[in-house]
Amino acid sequence: MFEYLLKHNRMNESDARGKFRQILSAVQYCHRKNIVHRDLKAENLLLDYQNNIKLADFGFANHFNATSLLDTFCGSPPYAAPELLNGEKYIGPEVDVWALGVILYLFISGSLPFEASNLKELHRRITQCDYRIPYFMSTKCELIIKRMLEIDPIKRSCLEVM
């Protein structure tokens, strides 16, 4: 997907919706099996010969359950949830949901929601949820992204309601 976005810059919302549904389906399957990916990003979304998306790079994946919190920072900083950057413990799925919000934003806008020239500024922008919605993004899409990019992991949308 990364190369696709480099070539095409961004997707229209209809195309993004179709691709995003495929990603949601794959991540929901993982979560039903109590597996959290922890490194969802455009570079780990592969397109097959029919342009179907495949999840790749399960190197940071782990089993999760509600009684045993995870505490390892995994993934790429621009896709990392605030709780990861703050070194907080987490159940698992909520960090994937955050990364999915970043991915959906990227698909539609052609850029990451949180960009900075250094890690300190990136950390600030993510933990304060400091990003801008492009003028061309629909209200419906904006609301979905805002529910996924919720600072509080307890209030963050879950995949079952997507």
Instruction: Dump pLDDT digits (tens) for 84-103.
Output: 999 999 999 999 999 999 99
Domains annotated for the chain, with CATH where assigned, are 2-156 (1.10.510.10)
- Asked if residue 4 has pLDDT above 80, the reply is no
What percentage of the chain has pLDDT greater than the value 70?
A: 93
Q: Is the pLDDT of residue 5 over 80?
A: no
- Please, is 10 exposed, middle or buried when counting C-beta atoms within 10 Å of its C-beta (0-12, 13-18, 19+)? middle
Q: Binning pLDDT at 50, 70 and 90, where does residue 6 land?
A: low
Cα gap 22→55, rounded to integer Å: 10
What does the pLDDT read at residue 1? 61
Q: Is the pLDDT of residue 64 over 90?
A: yes
As annotated, the active-site residues are 39
Burial of 116 (0-12, 13-18, 19+ CB in 10 A): middle
Residue 74 clears pLDDT 90, i.e. is over it: no
- In the chain, the amino acid numbered 144 is I
Map residue 87 onto helix, strand or coil: coil
